[in-house]
Amino acid sequence: MIYLDNAATTRVCEEAKNAALQGFETFGNPSSLHHLGVVAEGVIDEARGVLAGSLGVKEKEVFFTSCATESSNTVIFGAARAYGKRRKKIITTTIEHPSVAEPIRVLEEQGFEVVRVSPGEDGKITPESITRHVDKNTLLVSVMYVNNETGYILPADKIFKAVKRISPETVCHCDCVQSFMKLPFKVKELGADCISLSGHKLHAPKGVGALYIRSGVRILPLLCGGGQESGQRSGTENVSLISALAAAVKRLEPTIMQRYETVAALKKRLTDRLAGREGIHINSGDDCSPYVISIAAERIKSETMLHFLESKGIYVSSGSACSKGKKSGVLSELKVADKYLDSTIRVSLCAENTEEDIDAFVQAFIEGQESLAKIR
């Protein structure tokens, strides 16, 4: 099996598996007053330390959630509940993941003004295109760091800094699911007030995510109850998965640059072999994250190519896995030509992928392009 769908989810690493198993043994409720509770709480505190360290933030600014969708929903609804009486404008892009786009749409229905900035003709978003909408009435700016369908890297740091210059009160949220542990960044340089993270994109299990909230920014909680996570996210903590997430981060953190180089070389190998071939188009340019490669074989349906590759034991995705068969509006927003929209597949890498994986993919992709029936 050759797994090239790492932007959808990743294989759980040994370190995370072991941490999770150990976490199951540490079964105490972190809120309990007795010794077992104290031990479990210790596990979570340690994990919080790891996450905080990796982001360059204070421990009390990191909260554990069930997934990035929950993190983003918390920020968007929580900011609206905290500040929405006075400020009614939300600025975002047209290429956000549904976990951000949908809660914003719900707020729009409730009367918030939403500005969705579309990339320019070159498929890029400039800080200026965002900031020209920012005013004192702006509640929230939510911009992803790396797009999940093409790997496009947004100038998130420039955007947030420019927003803050105009309106320091505006909450800046960044969906960092496809960039955390892939691109080297610290929160301070990124300039976001809130950051959403997911465990299962970095070789931790599904069911755990994290949320950074800069201290001083008020985000009302989505879940209320026993007051866990400083009241920011009630519900008994998932000790085991939180520990697994920290283990995965610990494993990846020292090698961010090294893995970036490895993956960039793999991407180059892939694009070098395919670029220039008749009927093949690579949607992800050199300025994209090397972890995601969006690629089209003209007139061959994405789904057909996907299943053809699957028959060769190669797993990729069509569009993004979250949209399961639905057409991608994000690709056309990123100015991928219409003729490639139905034919685009996404190859997404991790550092465990090898040159052999890439060669096998390239060979199968070309074979598919030559043999499969084409759309008329």
- Which of the residues are catalytic? 322
- Using CB under 8 A as the binding rule, whether residue 113 contacts another protein is answered as no
Tokens of 303: 């789904």
- The answer to whether 326 contacts another protein (rule: CB under 8 A) is yes
303 touches another protein by CB under 8 A: yes
Least Cβ distance, residue 41 to another protein (angstroms): 43
Nearer to another protein, 330 or 350 (CB): 330
- Under rule CB under 8 A, how many of the chain's residues touch another protein? 16
373 makes contact with another protein (CB under 8 A)? yes
1 binds another protein (CB under 8 A): no
Q: Is 308 in the site for another protein (CB under 8 A)?
A: yes
Q: Does 220 bind another protein (CB under 8 A)?
A: no
For residues 180 and 308, which CB has a smaller minimum distance to another protein in the complex? 308
- Of residues 283-302, which lie at the interface with another protein (CB under 8 A)? 301
Nearest to 245 by CA among 5, 15, 82: 15
> Is residue 307 close enough to count as binding another protein by CB under 8 A?
yes
Asked if 188 is part of the footprint of another protein (rule: CB under 8 A), the reply reads no
Determine contact, residues 222/75, Cβ cutoff 8 Å: no
Give the binding range for another protein (CB under 8 A) out of 33-41, 65-73, 152-160, 320-328: 320-328
Closest CB to another protein among 216 and 325?
325
Told to check if 85 binds another protein by CB under 8 A, we report no
- Residue 367, φ and ψ in degrees, nearest 5: -60, -45
Applying CB under 8 A, the residues found at the interface with another protein are: 301, 303-308, 310-311, 324-326, 372-373, 375-376
